Amino acid sequence: RKIIDPKIAQKGSNITAERLRFDFNFDRKLTDEEIKRVEDEVNRVVKLSLDVFREEMSPDEAKKQGAQAEFGARYPPKVSVYTVVDKKGFYSKEICMGPHVRNTSEIGVFRIIKEESIAAGIRRIKAVVE
């Protein structure tokens, strides 16, 4: 959202310690420059060694606090909200089923290996952490 378009919303994901798949709404292929800028931003945040905090709350409370959620997803009465904190406040706040690292320095180098269309208006990136 910060690099490509603030209207982008998550449409699905699958994340492990070594790789991720992230689906999002967008109407065109990402350029090589956009992919590079996304990689650079993720790797910048990794190098900042930002703390990651977890708290539990209702999905409605999480959304009121600005947490990103998957549109249309059904959540249990209590969800985990992960917040990545920088000097300005929160860098990222997401409803996620985790688990997560405690600090971004634990992640490693992020590299997008594929970007593709999976449906009309929906893109997918596949990335690895090395």
Q: Where are the domains of the chain?
A: 1-49+105-130, 50-102
CATH class entry, domain 1-49+105-130: alpha beta
What pLDDT score does 2 carry?
84
Q: Would you give per-residue pLDDT tens digits along the chain (130 residues)? A: 888 999 998 898 888 888 999 999 999 999 999 999 999 999 999 999 999 999 999 999 999 998 988 767 889 999 999 999 888 776 888 888 776 889 999 999 999 999 999 999 999 999 999 9
What pLDDT score does 99 carry?
65
Beta carbons of 85 and 51 less than 8 angstroms apart: yes
What pLDDT score does 33 carry?
97
The pair phi, psi for residue 5, each rounded to 5°, is: -165, 125
What pLDDT score does 84 carry?
92
Beta-carbon contacts of 107 under 8 Å, excluding residues fewer than 6 positions away, are 46, 101, 129
Report the alpha-carbon distance of residue 127 to residue 15 in Å, rounded: 10
Sheet of strand 19-25: strand arrangement: 10-15, 19-25, 122-129, 110-119
